[in-house]
Every structure is written in structure tokens, then in C-alpha cells.
Structure 1
Amino acid sequence: MEEVATKGKVILVLGAASCGKSEWAENLAKASQKPVTYIATAIAHPDDPAWQKKIEKHALRRPQSWSTVEIPTALSAYITERKGEDCLLIDSLGTWVANGLETEDQDWEETVISLLNSLENASSEIILVGEETGWGVIPAYKSGRLFRDRLGNLTRRIGEIATEVYLVTGGYALPLNQIGQSLKTI
């Protein structure tokens, strides 16, 4: 008899810069009690000491038992290839969007659809960290507006399929799917 993989759950953790969203996601990954693979979407820039320090800070918090892979663009392919009952922690969606900012709109939409399909069909538990960027001023430059709009659209679409959605702010993780109303129901 063929073994059928169970569908994993998708958890979305949102928040502003340096608010603790990655730490909350890491706690959720630990609580899963599954083998964890940390998926870093960042591209190392040795000539940027502040960026390297941020990457190192994240790496130091992770348990040594976790494996780490760097996937700046091909998230859906990696997720689709996974067949285990493990936990994937993807940090972060904002960096992933920035890595694909030069992509034409039609190709970007295909990339997003591929990611959403991989999330919906994954057997792994997947925790995604995403930045909330649209709460400030309207970006003065076209690339800033494109980033904001693509990231906002992506997190909304992931939120629609996620099992759990959290907003981390002011030292608290708020379970939005429990206290909020989905826009899909209105």
C-alpha cells in the first residue's frame, strides 16, 4: 500500500523591522518538535557589515540541530521537493520579494502562484516570516512602491491559505486568525 503524505500546516508570522517576528517563528519551529530546516532567503553581502551582523545574530539564535539552507529565489521548487514530516522556517518573505524585484509582472505572478501551490501541497509544516512595510509613508521611488505592493499582496495571499497567522508587535504575538475576520468571508 502506498503511503500518503499528510498535508502540513502553513503558519505566517508578520511584523515590522526588529519587532521579534523571527524569534516568534523560531519558537513555533521549536514547539513543532520536528526536524527544522531554516531557509534563509538573504544573500550575504560581505561588504555590508551591518547586514552581516544581522545574519550572524539570527544564526547564533538557532539551535545547532537545525539545518540551514540559503534559497534566495527558488522557494517553491525546494518546498515541492520536500516529502518529509519536518518543519521549514522561511525567513524572510521581504528579502525573497526583494531578490525578485527585477522580475517582470507576469513572471512574478507565475512565481507567486507556484509558491502558493507548493505551500498548499506541502507535507512539511512551513513557517514563513514576512515584513509589514505598508504602514509608513508611500515610497518616493517606483522600486519601493513595487516592493511594498508585491510584499503586501504576497502576505495577503499566503494569509488566505495559512492555518495560523500572527502579527508580532509591542512585545506580543497576536493570533490574527483567531481574533480577526478573514477578508475572504466578507
Structure 2
Amino acid sequence: MTQLFKRRVILVTGPARSGKSEWAESLALRSGKSVIYVATAQTDPNDTEWMERISQHIQRRPSDWQTWEVPVNLAATIQEAKSSSCLLVDSLGTWVANLLEYDRTHWQKILKELLEIVENCDCDVIFVAEETGWGVVPAYPAGRIFRDRLGSLVRQIGAIANPTYLVTAGHVLNLSQLGTPLNP
């Protein structure tokens, strides 16, 4: 396979069940690099529906891909990856949910570290992120914190990434070609 890109950060965002992960997987396949699937989900054998979702993702991936379970230490994982690797991080929403217990100051520190490492990493990174801010403002504080943190993170990763894709209703739009950055 030919390598489509040299060290690159890609963002794939969109609503639930839109095809984000499938598009990200196809980009990783075409990278020509050794793919490492960075799973941010935490398994829960007592939640059969959640385990079925995880199983569907696993079955879709090629058998030669490595899987690293990284529910929290995403920055360190990216920093340690080799230039010959393509990390597929699925998903930022799940990662943010795993860190909701941290107060604002600790969250800002984690976010700053992640963004600095992403800007300077040697490997390719493909991020999958959910769009949660297209609906009503959540009625409870934890929901608002989650939505605000994820929305801010996606915007900041989007400023680093090239390209950024929006996947919705099974269709892919390259926002880097079609859109104009808000703060160029």
C-alpha cells in the first residue's frame, strides 16, 4: 500500500451511528503504516449492550491491527508512539467521559498536555469524535460539563488537524476543503 500522508493529524467528527469509525478505519488502512487502535472505552461485562458495541468494532478491524486500551492516559500513549505508526483514537467523547470526575483546573492541565503532544507527535493520529452540541443544553451539570469539554476539545483538535472530516448520514464531507477556519 502506498502511504497517503506523512506525519498527520486527522479529525473525523459527526453524530452517533453516522459512520465516523468506519471512515476513520478506512483512512488508517490507507496510511501504509502499522495501525494501533486506541480504544478509550472501558469494558463492563455487566453491560451486554455496551459489550456488543465494542464487539462490533473489534470484528470490523483487521486482525493485524494492535489494540491498546487507553481510557485515561491518551497524551502519554500518543507521545510514546513511533513514527511508523498510525494511531486511531476512538473516541474522544468516551475519553472525555472517563475524565469527568476531574475539576476544571485538572482538566485544563490534561487538555493542555494532550494538545501540545498532538502538535509535536511523530506518528499519524486519527481522532474520532462525537458531535454532542447539536441538541438542547443538557438539564444537568454533568451533561453540560461533558458537552462543553468535548465541544472545546473537538474545536481545538480541529485547529491542529488537516484534514477534518464531518461524517453524517453515511456521507463524508472534507471540512478542510469546504470550510473556512473560524480563527485562521
8 Å CA contact 2:7, 2:83 repeated in 1: no
Structure 1 unaligned runs (5+)? 1-6
| Corresponding residue of 1:140 | 139
The alignment's TM-score, normalised by the length of structure 1, stands at: 0.94
CA RMSD of aligned residues (A): 0.9
Measured after TM superposition, the shift of residue 51 of structure 1 is 0.3
| Corresponding residue of 1:10 | 9
| Corresponding residue of 2:173 | 174
Report the 3-state secondary structure (helix = DSSP H, G, I; strand = E; otherwise coil) of the residue aligned with 1:54: helix
| Corresponding residue of 1:83 | 82
Structure 2 unaligned runs (5+)? 1-5
The alignment's TM-score, normalised by the length of structure 2, stands at: 0.95
Q: How does 1:1-186 map to 2 (within 5 A)?
A: 8-185=7-184
Query: Distance in 1 between the 2:34 and 2:84 partners?
Result: 8
- Name the count of aligned residue pairs: 179
Query: Distance in 2 between the 1:180 and 1:66 partners?
Result: 33
Identity %: 53
1:57-108 alpha-carbon deviations (Å, 9 max, x no partner): 0000000000001000001011111233210000000000000001110110
Measured after TM superposition, the shift of residue 174 of structure 1 is 0.4
Report the 3-state secondary structure (helix = DSSP H, G, I; strand = E; otherwise coil) of the residue aligned with 1:43: coil
Q: Give the 4+ runs in structure 1 shifted more than 3 A.
A: none
